[in-house]
Structure 1
Amino acid sequence: MKRIRLFVTVLAIGTLLFQSCDDSKTYAELRDDEIDAINAWISTHDYEIISESEFYAQDTMTNENQFVLFDESGVYMNIVKKGQGTSVLADGSYSILSRYFEIAMQDRDELFSLGDTLTGNTNLYNYPLYFVNSSWSLPMYMLHPEEYKLTIDGDSYSAAFTQSYIMYSIYQTTSVPTGWLLPLRYVKPSRTSSSTDVARVRLIVPHAEGTRNASRYVYPCYYEITYNLGK
């Protein structure tokens, strides 16, 4: 990635987007730019794109640099690790814990550049400590993942953040991006502290399936996300 800008306050993205949105382009033009950006990203990273039928023929698994395109949503997914659960989640409610990072897939004026890290909640090693309450500690988002309540009812998947250290701070909504939920139809999350066993995916998420800002300002994001079961 060219540069890393981890925005951890509302002003970092929210205010800038409101002040700097390019009103000169129509939605159709912004959408064309988004499609071009996605195609350029795929070409640059030499991803192999497969259809949903090919994905199902492979027992809903992808190879190392292979992404399945879901036509209805426009989301591309690569499953890195399915997880240690016995099966995909059935109907019901679940606490899901996720670590993630969100990467800009195109340049957007003065807001961000291609390859910038827009937000993220990852447990990084060798991160500088903060002096709080007479002791040195990691920031809260390093200690705790994003937590949300997932509800599954047949083909309906919905989720809302119940404990968010980054997503709510930045985007000011408890709604979990719908693009985050699609992998939960295929991965098998469990309760694990092992980074090698946790369910993990890579995603290309177009604006309509992304965050509130992505949807409003029409830009795609690349994600790497883990899924763990909470209590």
Structure 2
Amino acid sequence: MKKFLSPIVLLIAIAMGLTSCDDSKSYAELLADENQAVNKFLVEFKVVDGIPADSVFEVGEDAPFYRIDENSDVYMQVLSVGTDEKPEKNDRVYFRFTRYNMFYYVVGGDNTLLGTGNWDSMNTEATFFLFDNTSVSQSTQYGTGIQLPMKFLGYNAIVNLVIKSQAGPTDEMSYVVPYLYNVTYNKSQI
């Protein structure tokens, strides 16, 4: 009997040792890291806690970042308000973007960090969402945060967006990585 228990006790000890050496972070810790990265970025800018009552935004590189959702997952800096024409529900909104992982982005740094996206490539397939329609994957694959500026701005608007993982691309939510986006919205592919 002792010979039989020894291997079992050894296996249990090894299993406990392996699980106790796991250095992975909990989801709560990942969310805390994400909030810290976003706060570290936003502290360098003026932040306005909501949309202006008259919907008139300050515009430009010195404009504040506006919190544009109730969960504080999306912040927008308006670089251009675009045209007076705004999309209606289910309209195709084409967009071009570059995004930067906020864990590596440094405000005021040399910004040699390469962003990803389709901003400077005319060879990529058109990227669009159906405005205010979250029932189709074409509209949700980039997350809900990318659509929010179009509730307030017109076509041809250009914005910088801080998007936390919960409002980001659906297939990346579990990574808990915040991104800084530079986005332009258009009515057509051109």
- Could you tell me the TM-score, scaled by structure 1's length? 0.60
Task: Give the AA of the match of 1:62.
Answer: E
Deviations 1:26-78 (A, max 9, x none): 011111111111111112xx2100121xx323524134330111352421001
2:100 paired residue number = 103
Deviations 1:155-201 (A, max 9, x none): x686617xxxxxxxxxxxx7232110111101111xxxxxxxx3111
C-alpha displacement at 1:144, in angstroms? Answer: 4.6
- The SS at the match of 2:99 is strand
Residues 212 and 71 of structure 1: is their aligned pair in 2 closer, same or farther, counting only changes over 3 Å? closer
- Could you tell me the TM-score, scaled by structure 2's length? 0.71
Preserved CA contact (<8 Å) 1:151 1:159: no
1:36 paired residue number = 36
1:142 paired to 2:122: yes
Q: 2:145 aligns with which of 179, 184, 190?
A: 179
**Superposition pairs for residues 65-84 of structure 1, below 5 Å?**
65=62, 66-73=64-71, 74-84=73-83
Preserved CA contact (<8 Å) 2:88 2:131: no
Gaps of 5+ in 2: 1-21, 107-112
Q: 1:57 aligns with which of 53, 59, 67?
A: 53
1:204 paired residue number = 162
1:120 paired to 2:87: no
Task: Give the AA of the match of 1:100.
Answer: F
Runs of 4+ in 1 over 6 A off after TM superposition: 156-159
Aligned identity (percent) is 27
Task: Give the AA of the match of 2:144.
Answer: T
Preserved CA contact (<8 Å) 1:104 1:221: yes
Tell me, in whole angstroms, the C-alpha distance in 2 between the residues paired with 1:149 and 1:67. 23
Computed over aligned residues only, the root mean square deviation of the Cα atoms, in angstroms, reads 2.7
Tell me, in whole angstroms, the C-alpha distance in 1 between the residues paired with 2:135 and 2:182. 20
Task: Give the AA of the match of 1:41.
Answer: F
**Superposition pairs for residues 137-176 of structure 1, below 5 Å?**
141-144=121-124, 146-152=126-132, 160=138, 175-176=141-142
C-alpha displacement at 1:214, in angstroms? Answer: 3.7
Residues 118 and 214 of structure 1: is their aligned pair in 2 closer, same or farther, counting only changes over 3 Å? farther
Of structures 1 and 2, the one with the larger relative CO (CA 8 A, separation 6+) is 1
How many residues are paired up?
Answer: 159
Gaps of 5+ in 1: 1-21, 107-112, 124-140, 162-173, 190-197
C-alpha displacement at 1:79, in angstroms? Answer: 1.4
- The SS at the match of 2:177 is coil
1:215 paired residue number = 173
